[in-house]
Amino acid sequence: MINYQEYLKSNYWRYRRKLFYKRSFPIQCSRCKRSDVPLDIHHLRYFRDGASILFHELDSDLELICRACHEKDHNKFSIKNMNIRINWFFVLLIGIGLGYLLFK
């Protein structure tokens, strides 16, 4: 099985990326609508029905976005944000535990 970084270097991905770019109209970021900046092709999902979409992307699996929007999207999953989500998870678990102890 090929890893994602190797896939991005593959001839197939180069071809698929060019094909999607040609089909995209207008040529602008689908989020902020800028067209005067470099644009990336972003995978909206990596799996469909439990299977990898690599080598099987549909146009609906991809999005044309600028680098700034692309970075914002990937930063949603940063360590800082994950820590905030994990902390809230533990707060929730503690709350459930206290509720159980109080009302059992």
DSSP-derived 3-state class of residue 55: coil
87 assigned to some structural domain: no
90 assigned to some structural domain: no
85 assigned to some structural domain: no
* H-helix segments, the chain: 4-8, 11-23, 67-75, 79-103
Q: How many domains does the chain have?
A: 1
Q: Which domain, by its residues, includes 63?
A: 4-76
pLDDT tens per residue, range 50-95: 889 999 999 999 999 999 999 988 777 555 444 444 455 555 555 5
pTM (2 d.p.): 0.68
